[in-house]
Structure 1
Amino acid sequence: MKGNVGEPITYTTQPTIDDYLNKGYKLVSSNFKDGDEIFKKTGNKFTVVLEHATVDVTPDNPGKPDESINPNDPDGPKWPENTGKDSLEKTGTQTIKYIGAGSDTPKEITDHTTFTRHYVVDKVTGKILNPNESWTPAEHTFKSYKTPVVKGYVANVKEAGGFESTPTDPNKTYTVTYKKIGKIIPVDKDDNPIPGAATPEYKNDPTKVLPNEPVPTVDGWKPTASNVTPQDPIKDTPVIYTKNETPVVPPDSPNPIPAPTPTPQPEPKKPETPKTPEKDKTPEPDVPEPDEPEPDEPDEPDVPTPRRHHKNKKHTPAPKPANNWSNNYAPHGQNGYYNNFGPHGQGTPGPNGGTIMPNGEVLDRNGNVVGYIDANGKIHYTLPQTGENQSEGVAAAALGGAVVAIGLVSLVGVKKRHTN
């Protein structure tokens, strides 16, 4: 600038300053005052100081990538790529999702945090002056949550969360999965489920079942273990039961009556099969050969000895046994059960109030031997005092006392000498 001393200086600095300002500069200082300055003999030096302007790029005042930094300088520098809001602010998120428990599934939990940073951009050059600027905060640790207990289900983790979020790894999602819990299954020795038995679910912790789970009570069955600790919380645990062998007591008999102990009985001897008897023959008396006759007293002929005749022999009648097979008498020596006979060895009621003895003797009601039974089971009676053998019908009449004569008539022709 040229001029005479004392003349006003017409030059102004503002247009030049404005041009610089539009290009990203800023006015630092100037000792020149437009319109107030004059030329002086000395001291006509003026200084205007400008420098590059900068701008802080923050989440609240982000840059606009690909746009001019200085609006009045469209051809000037552009905003850098990483000056947008997404590069200056990041949100950290922790999400806990619950699945698998149906309508009882817990609700999702989401927590947030924010990381921020700022850049300083040279408005003249468009460069970031602090490219290594750190985030604030550098990291964030989220809260941990205990997994809610859902009855009947078991979760894969006991708690979730506690994520350490950073600007470079800001987000984390946890998934808690519920699965249907196992049951205690009462089974028989063949591994078949017992019908009607309770099948209680395990008591969950929630990631494991509690130890020593009690087994259910099953009527009529006894478990092999009173409690169990399942090895896998989502698998059923079979427990073997054995069926009780308690005897069934009838409703009207509270206490079972023990069966009586049988008394050992001697085994009876097997009777011999009797030989087929010949037809009855009326015994004929033996007539002895007469000796030389004596004048005074002739010899007495032999009298046949009746079978099993015991005069005036007394016996105690045996008790009357129960009636059995038929109306026939058993042959002597045969152990039979007939209407009027008991086993061999017992007395049996006989005709006219008498008794048939086991040895075949026939006793009257007074205990006197009056006859015998032959091999065919037929009764033969001995006439009183004579020892004469008679059939059952005739002897019975003789014993009755009313028809003794009939018995004697039947023996006509038999000579006997009676001794009173």
Structure 2
Amino acid sequence: MASAPTRLDGKLGKLLVGHHAALLASRFKRLGYAWEDFTLQTVAACVPPTGKAHSCALRCADFTPAEAICVALDTGAFQRLTGQTVTPLLARGYAWPMLGGGWVVPLLPPAHYRADPGLLATVAPDVAKAVRMAVGLAAGQPYAYDQIDAVWRPTRTQWEGIVREFLLDPSRTFAADIETPWKRRADMSEAEKASGEDLTQTIDEFNVTWRTDWGVSVPWTEEYVPGVIAMLRASQTRGTTLFWNGAYDMPRLTRHTGIVFDPHHTRDTKDLFRVWRNSVPRKLAVATSLIPDNYGVPPWKHLGTDSPVYRAWDVVALLRNDIALHRLVRADGADPAYDLFMRRLDPHLVRMSRVGLAVDASRVSRLVEELPRRMAEERAAMTAALTAPRYKVWKTRPAAERGLAGVEAAGPIEPCPGTRAVLQCGACGATEVDAGHVGRKTILEAV
């Protein structure tokens, strides 16, 4: 039996979970590894003896050498097995072809988990992927990537046909994404900064899809922009426009097209993911790899923005994630949290940010003067009302993390009932509130 796959022992070094150990040993020896370089386990099925997904026991089965499934907990091991030099965060969670046959599902090196404990939530899904692949092989179902059609810079005639096809039924969910020369001004060269042009506001390409097996990317030129605007306007009138991190894409599209996005016809799927899993990084590639429906999605973020496959998978993954996350959020009982914060509250916040608020300056001045006294009264009333177990309100995220970890606590301290209720309804992706579940940003982002 294998030890729990979430075990991150400093002595572990490289963890490889694969088929029969003898076959693994000969394969790794040919790659230059000694037997003692690895902790070797075998995979055929995942049996959770304690009922917890992160404590799986793995049973043995025989596979041919070409059917090897490995989980590599080490950047060096991953690179030697696949020949890839992809950064760990872009590599993990996906199946990569192994040199000489078979597949590798890389985990992150232990240093990443120590730096960001929230990443521990990615371990069980990654190992489960390898288990599922092994079970499929045993059943005669070889693993293969999902295939998509990537259309890059279509001809004028092709593009006009694509636009007409969407406008026939603009009620379909419309997944959109833009590419800019730079994401952050800090990344620009000194010469680019000196030019006075903010290249983070320049749109290079526009990617779009309304299908889960096809995506199209067009340059932001006068030949294509009218079609983009027509589809966006139709989607904003009769359908829903999807973004991943719409706070970046929408202002730039508004600046270049004049379209003001209606929150009732727009959805940021990144927010939906934050409701489902609030503790892990919210990059599109990380989110995609954690969703079971995306079992066959190939690695694509390492290809770079000049790749048509990269551009197509960006919007296809966005659409797939949105479809799957609605079901996952409902299954976790977190739909009330999403409905409250994103469907009901967010449109009001968007409108407030656009139209501004009428402010009574004299009233604000009086409030500033009265605030210390009123806060002291509130604090005294709260303290008087407390009974064991004591409740504590933290002012900052680091303070909340330290408090929940017991660093500041003289005795047992729990989040106040309102905070606990919000967290338990799924806003942080946890079913219980404790030091293990509540990590960075959870308190302020969940409430």
TM-score range (shorter-chain normalised) is under 0.3
- Which structure dedicates a bigger proportion of its chain to helix? 2
Under a length normalisation based on structure 2, what TM-score does the superposition of the two structures give? 0.15
- Largest Rg, 1 or 2: 1
Greater length-normalized contact order (CA 8 Å, ≥ 6 residues apart):
2
